[in-house]
A and B are shown apart, each in its own frame.
Chain A
């Protein structure tokens, strides 16, 4: 069995006074305060999508682990764009195969150091570098095309997409760690700036700085160092280009089919809502709602109680580590925002557009 035995993070925000290393140290301090005793960590995995490009820093796993005072560890950075769950699969595999006993996953990314037009350029590195990037495109354009096709093929008006930011900001208003900790009304969403039509400002997750930590451990370590380990029940993955013409996320559908498990008890869901349209398509692919109106009964199940990427904030490659850390806190009744009494948590982690997907199931 492989378990999560601890988690911590800093509020997603703009940290002009802190470097990535400073942010990680702050998250680590929170972890130390929470744990009675730190287990002997033998592997440190850094999940960061952009640290090399934005902060001009390679060997980041070495630098960050040294900065935390760790020596003689396996250290590595895993880059998978905004999809940090690749780090969890690696940690899980290392512990399951008994190569490691205790793995610390550090999620970190920083966007506030540069203006948005530069960040837009960096985020566009996620596109095909031989064609799409060369044409000056951005991921926003692809999300916009998907949203436009989606609304058209389902005969929906734009205000349908507004359901998502409306709910996410409501949840975020209760989360002290949320970047955009405020409620919004429908009118504000509907009249916000058009970024790439039909997408408005409130349809796009707010990228900001973040650092989060999750400890993954074997049974013997979990039993010795934790009163409340949360079991990693299963982790599955798929990769498949999104369908823009008939908007859908084949990778999510494939990963969900691979999961092939019945979740007993209530389940808390967390999806990668980089765009409102992604949330809609992910909810459809997870079969949480019918295919034509996924937001229709959005309050009938528990999803993204932190406020999601939309309002809790979108810290790049650290995002999945935030999702895991928050789910761990929910399942151990320590989450400070909107609470869930669910027995399970299903976490859908993805890259910015949903081409690369991981689904993780945690259980109390």
Chain B
């Protein structure tokens, strides 16, 4: 079994809802949510949910993919700053042509991979470009 249903259930806030940690002490916002700030170590944090919008800082096109991701080759991956301030590296869906630095992106729920021997499908967040103008 390559995909664990219980693991996916446990990770639902990270994989499906972009739950973030917002530190009340240093103000740092990070992904995924953890009950401690990964910047200053404070336990005084709150869980917030991203609205799913952000700005593309950089991207790459990967021509070597992992086992189970062959159909997604080449995989376009973006370095994204969410509007809430957190940085995330995630796949870009439906990418065609040149993507511009500064493009606006939106989170979408997509199939990530499947476990053919057990019929399990894993879903997760990808991003799609909604405005390819570098000025957003």
Contact = CB atoms under 8 A, between A and B. Distances in A.
Interface string A233-261: 00000000000110000000000000000
* Nearest 6 pairs of A and B residues by beta carbon: A144-B60, A196-B62, A121-B66, A136-B69, A117-B67, A121-B67
Interface stretch (A103-111, A126-134, A291-299): A126-134
A149 interface: yes
B60 A136 contact: no
A137 B77 contact: yes
A159 interface: no
Given A145-B58, A245-B79, A136 B64 contact: no
Interface string A133-153: 011111011101100110010
Given A141-B77, A145-B60, A145-B89, A136 B66 contact: yes
A64 interface: no
A86 interface: no
Contacts of B109: none
* Most chain A Cβ neighbours within 10 Å, of B32, B64, B91: B64
B11 interface: yes
Given A134-B122, A135-B112, A244-B89, 8 more contacts: A121-B66, A124-B66, A135-B126, A136-B91, A136-B113, A138-B62, A196-B62, A196-B63
Contacts of B70: 117
Contacts of B113: 136
A194 interface: yes
Nearest to A199: B60
Given A145-B77, A245-B79, A134 B63 contact: no
B36 interface: no
14 contacts: A121-B66, A121-B68, A124-B66, A131-B15, A132-B89, A134-B15, A138-B65, A141-B77, A145-B59, A196-B60, A196-B62, A244-B87, A244-B89, A245-B79
A148 B32 contact: no
Given A136-B72, A245-B57, A144 B66 contact: no
A245 B101 CA distance: 12
Interface string A178-208: 0000000000000001111110000000000
B53 interface: no
Size class of the A contact interface (CB-based, 8 Å): 20 to 34
Contact of A142 (B57, B89, B91): B89
Interface in B83-99: 87, 89-91
Given A134-B122, A134-B124, A116 B60 contact: no
A266 interface: no
Given A145-B79, A145-B89, A134 B66 contact: no
A120 interface: yes
A105 B4 CA distance: 36
A160 interface: no
B75 interface: yes
B11 A130 contact: yes
B124 to A, nearest CB: 6
B61 interface: yes
Nearest to B62: A196
Contacts of A145: 58-60, 77, 79, 89
B78 to A, nearest CB: 9
Interface of B: 11, 14-15, 31-32, 57-70, 72, 75, 77, 79, 87, 89-91, 112-113, 122, 124-126
B36 to A, nearest CB: 14
Nearest to B113: A136
A301 interface: no
B124 A195 contact: no
A114 B32 CA distance: 32
Contact of A136 (B63, B65, B87): B65
A130 B32 CA distance: 8
Interface string A90-117: 0000000000000000000000000011
Contact of A140 (B57, B64, B69, B72): B64
A269 to B, nearest CB: 29
A120 B68 CA distance: 11
Contacts of B14: 130-131
Nearest to B34: A130
A137 B89 contact: yes
B45 to A, nearest CB: 17
Contact of B62 (A140, A149, A244): A140
Given A135-B91, A136-B91, A195 B64 contact: yes
B74 to A, nearest CB: 9
